[in-house]
Structure 1
Amino acid sequence: MRMFLFLSFSALMLLEPYGFTFTDETDRQTLLEFKSQVSENKRVILSSWNNSVPLCNWDKVICGLKHKRVTGLNLGGLQLGGVISPSIGNLSFLISLNLSDNSFGGKIPTEVGNLFRLEYLDMSQNFLGGGIPTSMSNCSRLLSLRLTSNSLGEGVPSELGSLMKLEILYLGSNNLKGNLPASMGNITSLKRLSLAYNNMEGEIPDDMARLSQMVFVSLTVNNFSGGFPFHVYNWSSLEVLSISINSFSGNLRPDLGNLLPKIRTLFLGSNYFTGVIPTTLSNISNLQALAIGNNSLIGSIPLNFGKVNNLQLVALEVNSLGSYSSGDLDFLSALTNCSQLVIISVGGNRLGGPMPTSIANLSRTLISLELGKNLISGSIPQDIGNLISLQSLYLEENILTGSLPASLGKLVGLGKLHMNSNRMSGEIPFYIGNITRLESLYLSNNSFEGTIPQSLSNCSQMLYLHVGNNKLSGTIPPGIMQISSLVHLKMEGNSLTGSLTKDVGRLQNIVELSLGNNKLSGQLPQALGNCLSLGVIYLQENLFDGAIPDIKGLVSVRRVDLSNNNLSGSIPRYFSNFSLLEYLNLSLNNFEGRVPTEGVFQNATIISLFGNKDLCGGIRELQLRPCLVETPPRQTKHPSLLKKVVIGVSVGIAFLLLLLIVSIRWFIKRKNSRRTDNQTPSTLGAFHEKISYGDLQKGTDGFSLRNLIGSGNFGTVFKALLPTENNVVAVKVLNLQRRGAMKSFLAECESLKNIRHRNLVKLLTACSSIDFQGNEFRALIYDFMPNGSLDMWLHPEEVEEVHRPSRTLTLLERLNIAIDVASVLDYLHIHCHEPIAHCDLKPSNVLLDDDLCAHVSDFGLARLLLKFDRESFLNQLSSAGVRGTIGYTAPEYGMGGQPSIYGDVYSFGVLLLEMFTGKRPTNYLFGGNVTLHSYTKLALQDKVLDIADNSILNSGLRVSFPLDECLTLVLEVGLRCCEESSANRLTMSEVEKKLISVRERFFKAKS
């Protein structure tokens, strides 16, 4: 007994230095210290945490029954802010700690490792940074560790491999990097593992094969590469495997279905898997969801999938399945045995042959059927209306013929009906209007005839109505102009008659109105000015007459085409105030009078006025005749009138001379003051502080990860809603701790403050302020580009699913984007007030607006080239060395060469090759003497289709202009830009002309 007491006393003495004494006072003081680190405005939630309330009665605190020590702390979902106090490590009896769904920042305290009794730890959905503390390996009793949705960096520490009892490990949605440590294979009790949405890379360690109890694995959205180790036979208990959006490669094993016998969900999409779909997958009786889309699979779709009775999802889109021949669609007949099917997605493949009538016998639980972008022929089965649960039907870009079957009217729950770009004919049925839940109706590019049914006005939830490029006639049903939800109304390329009524003003949400190439007549209604959301107005090639109405309230308009009508009167001056306007075509009308010279009328590249013989004035580039000053006729009967005119002209000339003298003196004075003022950067002088740190903090919801849209070398970009102007912008917050960030900020302001081009991202203002902690704060505010970066369109497999584009770029869209970028580089190099080299051109710095027009961004490394005559390279931005991004940087930069326009040409060439091959210059294929340049050059002779981006080949492009010829011409331009010697490279002017020539040939062939 004495020995027992002695040992107990000794144990207490050993534990006491660590705060492990048997008293609740330590826990009380620990929690009060924890509370003190919580944001002050949130402490009211913890009001019961005070000395007047017994510890075990504190809200969200759980105590043990015997020793009354704190064993549980459940603070999840309280939106607490501040930091996690290191004192948390003193809660030595703690078993469960839940801090999830809060706003804690800072780092995870290393003292968490003192909680040796801890079994459950959840810190998900916070703003925690730093790395995962290695001290967590001391929590040897941990069963569940959840740290998802934070900003944790670095890698997964190998020490976690010592948590031998761990069953659940969720580390997804962080910034974790590096390889998955082999030590993870030691956690043989692990059942659930999620590392999704990180930046991890490398191959999966073979030691992971030891995790025989695994039932859930999610590695989605990382950079894991190599062949996935499906040979891990010990994963026979696995039920969910999600490894989509990585860089896994190799053929899928023929025996894959035998290796994973209990799989219910198998997501392998957006990787580089090749070969055929294993037929053994049909052996998995519990399989519910199979997604292998966006890979490079070939062969046929196995018929034996029809044996998998529990199958609910089949997603095989964007591969090379099928052979454009009869029999490719036989698998659909087999799937009629799967009574629980919800989604079938096989679009963007090489499926051919006639549409089987057996489609009508598919499961009545089917919600989405996606067969678009193939080469399917024949007519739509008459009994397709049997699929009564269908909500989405995608049959676009095939070669379907015939009319729309009457049974479609039974699909009352249909929300999306996409039939565009086929060879369908007949009338648009009246019953379409009975499908009142329709949100998008795409029937364009077919041969539909007759009138547009009035019944479409019943579709009050319609967002997108596309019936352009058909053979439709008659008037536009007035009821359509009353569908206030419409965002896109496209009826171009038909034979519609009548007028555009004043009811168009009811389209309060309309963004694009495209009625060009019809026979519409009458005057444009004044009510058009009520459509305040309008960004695109295409009314060209009609019979409209009269003057342009007052639409000066359409400040969001970007593109206007009123060409080839009978419009008259003067050109409204308010067009000069449309700051977003990037295209204005008023040619081939009867306009008269003086052309404005302000605003957009200063840029001849974005306006077209030819064919208006009575216009005069404007800027010189428009080549219009000068406006003559009208002089009064010679009259002797009214000498007093002549005298007044002479006096008036004389006074006017004198006033102009005086104004000219004052302007010259002001210019000289300003120039001299600039020379003497060497200590204040001129950059910020161009901006007035229009927005505060508080506004940006509020507009980004506290710089929330939910609003994070990108990051770069010197800062992070957030989407923000400005409270003052109620418009969405992009806010680039500079990381001032990063060397060169401040100089990058100044360079970007200096580069963008005086340049204007339709394909440049617009810098709205800059914020130079102090944050709420008293630290310096710098941010740049730009126009927000809703379609993200070109990079995410070229490489959608690397993008989070929520931000991933819904489709791929067509050949023509890529060509247009390339021309946009070439145009802006030509402007920067030649036509700017001072030549500018961008120095960091790459796909992530090319942003796309609603119309997929390109806007070049990120001028943090840009150089005003004339300054190199008097300022050294070292004093410009940051330390000397290679500028730009690996793979896109000109070779002369690596040898100490100074920035030049020729370096931009090289970067553009790499960009062009990447756009049409779909391969980054840093792709794993390239190394040593093999580069994207040499890879393209080698294939240019007779294998150009082999290196082309698969999404271009699968786009269903069918024009007389051969696809291989088009690709060859474009890639040749890219190779000429990537010449080793800068002297041999094309100029951007030459590049733009060559690409426009390719596009013109494309259009001629298409027509």
Structure 2
Amino acid sequence: MSLWMFWLIYMQVFQVSLGSSIHQGNNTDKLSLLHFKAKVHDPLGVLSSWNESIQFCEWYGVSCGHKHQRVTALNLRSSKLVAVNQFSGRAPNFTGFNDLQYLNWEANNLGNGEDDDLQFLYSIVNCSSLRGLSFESNNLGGILPRIIGNFSNKLSELGLGDNQIRGSIPSEIENLIGLTRLSMKQNRLSGSIPSSIGKLQSLGFLDIYGNEFSGSIPSSIGNITTLQILDLSFNNLLGIIPSTLEKCQRLFLIQFSNNKLSGKIPIEVMGISSLSWALDLSNNQLVGSVPAEVGELVHLGILDLSHNKLTGEIPATLGSCTSLESLYLDDNFLQGNIPKALDSLKGIRKLGFSLNNLSGKIPEFLRTIKLQSLNLSFNNFEGEVPTEGIFKNASAVSLVGNTNLCGGIFELHLPPCSAKGDKKNGGSSLKLILVSVILSVLLLIVVLSLIIVYYLWKRKLKASSTPPLLVSMLQVSYDNLLKATSGFSSDNLIGKGRYGSVYKGILDYEQQTVVAVKVFNLQHQGATRSFLAECEALRNIRHRNLVKIISACVSIDFQGNDFKALVYDLMVNGNLDEWLHPVNEASEAPRHLHILQRLNIAIDVASALAYLHFHCQPPIVHSDIKPSNVLLDDEMIGHVGDFGLARFLPQETSQNISSNSASYTGILGTTGYTAPEYAMGIKPSTSGDVYSFGILILEIFTGKRPTNEIFKDGFNLHNFVTPALAENLSEIIDPMLLQEVAGESKMWINDEIKQCLVSVFQVGVVCSAEFPNERPSICDVEVQLQSIRKKLVKSRGYRENQGRRKAPSAEVSKNAESAGSLICD
């Protein structure tokens, strides 16, 4: 169950009218509600029942006490209300609701992100009966005032998450001793977590992830023995994990990931036997070994210790954690063999041991466990790879970077294992030869041993180990790429993104093989994971509408630092975003895509997604479809790339988005293109890609980005297009297209072209439907678009291939300069 669903169920239980008052007449409450209504904009009409014809206790969202008919609860969650007055979007004054017990205004548009957004708190601080207060998922800014500590100690629920609140948590929060739930996630809060928080000894839910907190985790947090959920992830917390957490024996979820925590993993944390959901300490700077006491977590479902600096061997005691479903130890300094004791983890589904110094043979028991994914890449495993169990599925297992492995199924592209030679007679002679050889090279072995020890200490990965994406691929070294890009010169820089930079290079000067080289910034958190995701996604897939990977390089640079890079075909016509939203320079001819070119590119993307969703085993979800991730070659054919966020899905669940299970690694994709259900923690699905594709189509034919300044307050690109389809097509179509189809007058579009455009927009609208079960499959979409293209070709007299054209020669070099933005972003 996701944290979002946990809170939803919790709030449904709490919408109960418990209080009443005899001090004021109920007319005061009615007038206050009407005053409140006058101060908000109600785009969905949820407050239409607030009128004189209905008794106010029956108005939408209003709950009253049974005895005195006073307002005790106001629940306007997800009503999309917008606070308005003549000056700003501040919240209305809540004065008058003296008997109010529950106020829920989640998921609206309250506030302007300004300093005085939280002034409304002063109007309700004296509501002595207040027990629940939630303003999550709004636009509240400003600094959290100290007056928060003046609320009644009856207050049990305080939700201020998903806003823009700044500053620190006031120490006065210690006064709210009745709090059972405190959520301040996804704000801009900073400073230290106050030690006074340890006085909230009724707290069961503490969620402050996604802020800018620094300093250490206060040891006083161990005094909150009622804690069940503790999420401090995605902050800048330093220092050690407090051992006082041992006293919190009701915890079933601890998430400290993506901080800067150091020191060893406390043995005391392993003694919290109630942990059942997850223990996530990933992406920190923890050192030392994995405590043997980890075996005490017999109820734990997810253990993630990846991306730290842990050393030693994998403890055999992990075999006692029989409830584990996911175990991630990637990107540490672990060594030794995989312990056989792990064969008792019969429920394990996901294992991640990549980027360590593990060695030995791959244990046989791994083929008998019903694993969904297994990542053993970039270690020192050796010997023959099994061919049964998960090892039958090349897309579910990763073995790249283990140069001494052999055998396995053909799709793994490993070298065959050499047969053992027959033993021969004459054992005595053989022994004499062996002894002579051993004695003669003894000194050499000693010298070589010293060199190897230094060599292994100096570099974590072998410089020559390159992911065997395909045996036939061109293998390149760091030195090759350095020369190809003129020392990664800024003159060859063609794009930058969150995980690295892309350079234009000439890999073979005789054949003039021009490539795009993506160099990963390994100092950036998540860059290694993005590299592995792209390697895995592109290793076994080939399609004319996917960016072609030429090679991968895993090495060290001349300063001794880890180096990772991917080499792609260079797309000379740049990316689709540059064509839809050109920034023309005086020396540059204007770019323009006509109708058929745009439709062709949309079909190219649909074809690529259909291949990923229905022809890959397991299916692949791209998770980041947008114009800058669609590259165009010299014939204007679209190629989808950037698989840094791609996810592999089990076949039977690839389109099942009804589950409320959350991917606790965070929301995927890019703002404006991401499916709305991802914001609620729903796992990535093929329906999410279809949503992004729908937004892409609407952007292609309207010329408007989904982040355009006109789209706000619940108004988006989908809502912009939908009402205009019947009568006002000219109001939504890209002006450049309108000029093409109607001439300079921009007043007339013939019926055949109009119908084609309407059909295209209808595809975009249905794909970008809010609810996943209302979206079609990408295969059906591709068929529809092919049909529309046939009609368009017939109506305009196009040739079938007229939408494909090579860029003018003068444009090629200029476009090549920007061709790497897809790979970078």
Per the normalisation by structure 2, the TM-score is: 0.51
Name 2:352's counterpart in structure 1.
561
Report Cα offsets for 1:811-855 as digits up to 9, x if no partner: xxxxxxx99996441237999xxxxxxxx999985454845499x
Cα distance 1:910–1:626, how it changes in 2: closer, same or farther (>3 A)?
closer
Name 2:112's counterpart in structure 1.
323
Given that 1:265 and 1:289 are in contact with CA atoms closer than 8 Å, whether structure 2 keeps it comes out as: no
CA offset at residue 490 of structure 1? 0.5
Report Cα offsets for 1:236-289 as digits up to 9, x if no partner: 99x9xxxxxxxx9743559937665541774289xxxxxxxxxxxxxx982111
The letter for the 2-side match of 1:383 is E
Given that 1:546 and 1:567 are in contact with CA atoms closer than 8 Å, whether structure 2 keeps it comes out as: yes
Cα distance 1:345–1:375, how it changes in 2: closer, same or farther (>3 A)?
same
Given that 1:353 and 1:377 are in contact with CA atoms closer than 8 Å, whether structure 2 keeps it comes out as: yes
Considering only aligned residues, what root-mean-square deviation do their CA atoms show, in Å? 4.5
Cα distance 1:916–1:450, how it changes in 2: closer, same or farther (>3 A)?
farther
Cα distance 1:977–1:587, how it changes in 2: closer, same or farther (>3 A)?
same
Name 2:184's counterpart in structure 1.
395
The letter for the 2-side match of 1:504 is V
Alignment match of 1:256 (pick from 50, 54, 57): 50
CA offset at residue 584 of structure 1? 0.7
Q: Per the alignment, in what secondary structure is the counterpart of residue 124 of structure 2?
A: helix
Name 1:812's counterpart in structure 2.
none
Name 1:981's counterpart in structure 2.
786
CA offset at residue 296 of structure 1? 2.1
Q: Per the alignment, in what secondary structure is the counterpart of residue 593 of structure 1?
A: strand
For these two proteins, the number of residue pairs brought into alignment is: 470
The letter for the 2-side match of 1:267 is G
Name 2:303's counterpart in structure 1.
513
Given that 2:396 and 2:618 are in contact with CA atoms closer than 8 Å, whether structure 1 keeps it comes out as: no
Distance (Å, rounded) in 1 between the aligned partners of 2:619 and 2:201:
58
Distance (Å, rounded) in 1 between the aligned partners of 2:300 and 2:240:
22
Distance (Å, rounded) in 2 between the aligned partners of 1:853 and 1:414:
22
Name 1:600's counterpart in structure 2.
390
Cα distance 1:951–1:451, how it changes in 2: closer, same or farther (>3 A)?
farther
The letter for the 2-side match of 1:298 is V
The letter for the 1-side match of 2:704 is Q
Asked if 1:492 is matched to 2:282, the reply is yes
Name 1:293's counterpart in structure 2.
77
Larger radius of gyration between Structure 1 and Structure 2: 1
Given that 1:909 and 1:978 are in contact with CA atoms closer than 8 Å, whether structure 2 keeps it comes out as: no
Report Cα offsets for 1:928-956 as digits up to 9, x if no partner: xxxx9986665552445677996999xxx
Distance (Å, rounded) in 1 between the aligned partners of 2:54 and 2:93:
17
Given that 2:50 and 2:60 are in contact with CA atoms closer than 8 Å, whether structure 1 keeps it comes out as: no
Cα distance 1:426–1:350, how it changes in 2: closer, same or farther (>3 A)?
same
Q: Per the alignment, in what secondary structure is the counterpart of residue 329 of structure 1?
A: helix
Given that 2:91 and 2:117 are in contact with CA atoms closer than 8 Å, whether structure 1 keeps it comes out as: no
Using CA pairs below 8 Å that are at least 6 residues apart, which structure has the higher relative contact order? 2
CA offset at residue 632 of structure 1? 3.2
Q: Per the alignment, in what secondary structure is the counterpart of residue 263 of structure 1?
A: helix
Cα distance 1:436–1:470, how it changes in 2: closer, same or farther (>3 A)?
same
Name 1:76's counterpart in structure 2.
none
CA offset at residue 386 of structure 1? 0.7
Given that 1:356 and 1:381 are in contact with CA atoms closer than 8 Å, whether structure 2 keeps it comes out as: yes
CA offset at residue 520 of structure 1? 1.1
Distance (Å, rounded) in 1 between the aligned partners of 2:784 and 2:44:
33
Alignment match of 2:412 (pick from 622, 629, 639): 622
Distance (Å, rounded) in 2 between the aligned partners of 1:624 and 1:594:
10
Asked if 1:575 is matched to 2:369, the reply is no
Distance (Å, rounded) in 2 between the aligned partners of 1:314 and 1:324:
21
Distance (Å, rounded) in 2 between the aligned partners of 1:949 and 1:513:
40
CA offset at residue 333 of structure 1? 2.0
Report Cα offsets for 1:197-220 as digits up to 9, x if no partner: xxxxxxxxxxxxxxxxxxx9xxxx
The letter for the 2-side match of 1:308 is F
Name 1:408's counterpart in structure 2.
197
Asked if 1:351 is matched to 2:140, the reply is yes
Distance (Å, rounded) in 2 between the aligned partners of 1:456 and 1:317:
31
Given that 2:613 and 2:686 are in contact with CA atoms closer than 8 Å, whether structure 1 keeps it comes out as: no
CA offset at residue 406 of structure 1? 2.3
Distance (Å, rounded) in 2 between the aligned partners of 1:415 and 1:342:
15
Q: Per the alignment, in what secondary structure is the counterpart of residue 165 of structure 2?
A: strand
Report Cα offsets for 1:291-339 as digits up to 9, x if no partner: 1111322224644213210111111111222222222211122210211
The letter for the 2-side match of 1:568 is S
Given that 1:361 and 1:386 are in contact with CA atoms closer than 8 Å, whether structure 2 keeps it comes out as: yes
Report Cα offsets for 1:158-198 as digits up to 9, x if no partner: xxxxxxxxxxxxxxxxxxxxxxxxxxxxxxxxxxxxxx9xx
Name 2:26's counterpart in structure 1.
none
Cα distance 1:420–1:951, how it changes in 2: closer, same or farther (>3 A)?
farther
Name 2:207's counterpart in structure 1.
418
Cα distance 1:424–1:557, how it changes in 2: closer, same or farther (>3 A)?
same
Cα distance 1:909–1:618, how it changes in 2: closer, same or farther (>3 A)?
closer
**Gapped regions of structure 2 (runs ≥ 5):** 1-11, 18-29, 34-41, 84-88, 430-539, 541-606, 621-650, 666-684, 718-763, 770-776, 791-819
Q: Per the alignment, in what secondary structure is the counterpart of residue 94 of structure 2?
A: helix
Q: Per the alignment, in what secondary structure is the counterpart of residue 336 of structure 1?
A: coil
Name 1:52's counterpart in structure 2.
none
Name 2:328's counterpart in structure 1.
538
Name 2:458's counterpart in structure 1.
none
Report Cα offsets for 1:680-714 as digits up to 9, x if no partner: xxxxxxxxxxxxxxxxxxxxxxxxxxxxxxxxxxx
Name 2:510's counterpart in structure 1.
none
Cα distance 1:559–1:829, how it changes in 2: closer, same or farther (>3 A)?
closer
**Gapped regions of structure 1 (runs ≥ 5):** 1-195, 197-215, 217-235, 240-247, 270-283, 640-756, 758-817, 832-839, 855-907, 918-931, 954-966, 986-999
For 1:255-294, list aligned pairs within 5 A: 256=50, 262-263=56-57, 266-267=60-61, 286-294=70-78
Cα distance 1:637–1:470, how it changes in 2: closer, same or farther (>3 A)?
closer
Cα distance 1:288–1:978, how it changes in 2: closer, same or farther (>3 A)?
farther
Name 2:724's counterpart in structure 1.
none
Per the normalisation by structure 1, the TM-score is: 0.42
Cα distance 1:572–1:949, how it changes in 2: closer, same or farther (>3 A)?
farther
Distance (Å, rounded) in 1 between the aligned partners of 2:664 and 2:182:
28
Given that 1:842 and 1:911 are in contact with CA atoms closer than 8 Å, whether structure 2 keeps it comes out as: no
Cα distance 1:451–1:942, how it changes in 2: closer, same or farther (>3 A)?
closer
Distance (Å, rounded) in 2 between the aligned partners of 1:543 and 1:829:
30
Given that 2:56 and 2:62 are in contact with CA atoms closer than 8 Å, whether structure 1 keeps it comes out as: no
Q: Per the alignment, in what secondary structure is the counterpart of residue 286 of structure 2?
A: strand
Q: Per the alignment, in what secondary structure is the counterpart of residue 294 of structure 2?
A: helix
CA offset at residue 383 of structure 1? 0.5
Asked if 1:481 is matched to 2:289, the reply is no
CA offset at residue 575 of structure 1? 1.4
Distance (Å, rounded) in 2 between the aligned partners of 1:473 and 1:543:
15
For 1:163-178, list aligned pairs within 5 A: none
Given that 2:360 and 2:380 are in contact with CA atoms closer than 8 Å, whether structure 1 keeps it comes out as: yes
Distance (Å, rounded) in 2 between the aligned partners of 1:464 and 1:515:
14
The letter for the 1-side match of 2:309 is K
For 1:835-914, list aligned pairs within 5 A: 845-846=656-657, 848=659, 850=661, 852=663, 912-914=689-691
The letter for the 1-side match of 2:61 is F
The letter for the 1-side match of 2:786 is S
CA offset at residue 360 of structure 1? 1.2
The letter for the 1-side match of 2:72 is Q
Name 2:748's counterpart in structure 1.
none
The letter for the 2-side match of 1:429 is P
Distance (Å, rounded) in 1 between the aligned partners of 2:62 and 2:611:
37
Given that 1:285 and 1:309 are in contact with CA atoms closer than 8 Å, whether structure 2 keeps it comes out as: no
Cα distance 1:439–1:620, how it changes in 2: closer, same or farther (>3 A)?
same
